[in-house]
Amino acid sequence: MSHELAPTPIEQRKITKEASIDQTKHSKLPVEWNTHLMRDFCHQREMNGCTAWDAVPKKAEVGSVISIMLVHVLLLLLHVCGGGASPIQCSDDQGKPVDWFYLYKLPHLHRTPAEEGLKYLYMDAGSEGWADGKTLINDTQSAVGRTLAPLYEGGDVGYILYNDQPPQKKHLGASRTCGHTKGVVVFDKQQGFWLVHSTPHFPPPKTEGRFSYPSSGINNGQNFICVTYPFERFQTIGEQLQINQPHIYDCSIPASLAAAVPAMAQLCKHTLGRWENASSSPANRSISLLSLAGSEFISFAKGASFDNDLYHSWVAPTLQSNLLVQFWRRSTGILPSDCSQNWEVLNVDLISPGQRVTFKATADHSKWAISKDGGDLGTSGSWVCVGDINRDEAEEKRGGGTVCHRDAVVWKAYRTAALQCEACDGKVQTCDKAV
């Protein structure tokens, strides 16, 4: 009798992803060659089980004339691989386009070199867990630096930079009437990315002309989630941001794009402005967003009128999952762990992502939440949410949100990072035992 081994989490993720791609890829491709797909070919990615050269006929009769179609394919390969305009998308720290990534900027701990506060851990769909970044986060060759490069290179792109703690030169006008939100949206008529993060004073406005990372972002841990989306998703993303009421410090939506993304164009009208009575958006909304490669992400967006804790009152019951939540603990009015109304939402107290370094939640400015327990795709576990809102009384009355995704590998990376949690009786113990 033979026994088949169950697939590992990363093998299961690949099987699920490939099945999703097989079901949708033919209906979504345009008539002409899709340059994003060709660029994937150039990098010999294995999303469809082939490389660039599989697109070229493998056999040809000696002396035959190369077909016109083959000539066009080869020319397009040379153009895309050899320096044509890069699609706007999330990028890893080797310059390869990725559908999504998670990045954990590590804190600068006491009595360690300042450079330690610029190191980061990285993970994308091809990862088996956290991996050390190949450079420092303030390097233009970092994953975040490469991703943001198109913003500073010019071109006919739409973009919105928002941060409740904007870069110092743009600090005038920041108001607590705006959401406690931080992020970057950049797109063209084909596709783009939404980068949600927790770093104050970041990134610099487009007029700075280049990527940089603020010195104020070195000491504490920070989190980033980047997702590549097709153009048709950005109207919905704009609607979510309208609910958040972010402090926008730099924004431009070209006329060539504005008609298709009116929510984005409307957001630009609030640059450096206030939001009192400025929006008829709902108090909160969650919505599914499919990435360029078909992965599902759920955006939770709340406005000031929601007036409640994002995680216990909404995310936990919606995901049907108990949560462990990491957030900034050095503010007033911190909400304690909450086990009421059938859901456990526990504050994380001690963290060790990738077992590289261990630090208290007070050294981490990140805002992330995970299912307390894992599970396969048929259960309520394996959720990972990264956002920009804390668990404190003041932020119940401010806009903000989180982006959630189900992935066993990503969940395990975050779950093993959560070492100790605050139980609902106030005692700190291992997160496995805390209730």
Residue that the structure tokens 């640059």 belong to? 271
Q: Work out the burial of residue 91: count CB atoms within 10 Å of its CB; fewer than 13 is exposed, 13-18 middle, 19 or more buried.
A: buried
Q: Work out the burial of residue 126: count CB atoms within 10 Å of its CB; fewer than 13 is exposed, 13-18 middle, 19 or more buried.
A: middle
Residue 90: CB atoms within 10 A of its CB come to 27
CB 206 within 8 A of CB 152: yes
- H or E segment and range at residue 94: none
Largest CA distance in the chain: 82
User: Phi-psi bin for 269: left (phi > 0), alpha (psi -120 to 50), beta?
Assistant: alpha
Ordered alpha helix ranges (H), 54-166: 68-81, 143-152
CB 305 within 8 A of CB 363: no
Measured between alpha carbons, how far is residue 78 from residues 42, 84, 150, 206 in Å? 9, 9, 21, 30
Of 36, 201, 270, 365, the catalytic one is 365
Residue 312 a catalytic site member: no
* Enzyme catalytic residues: 365
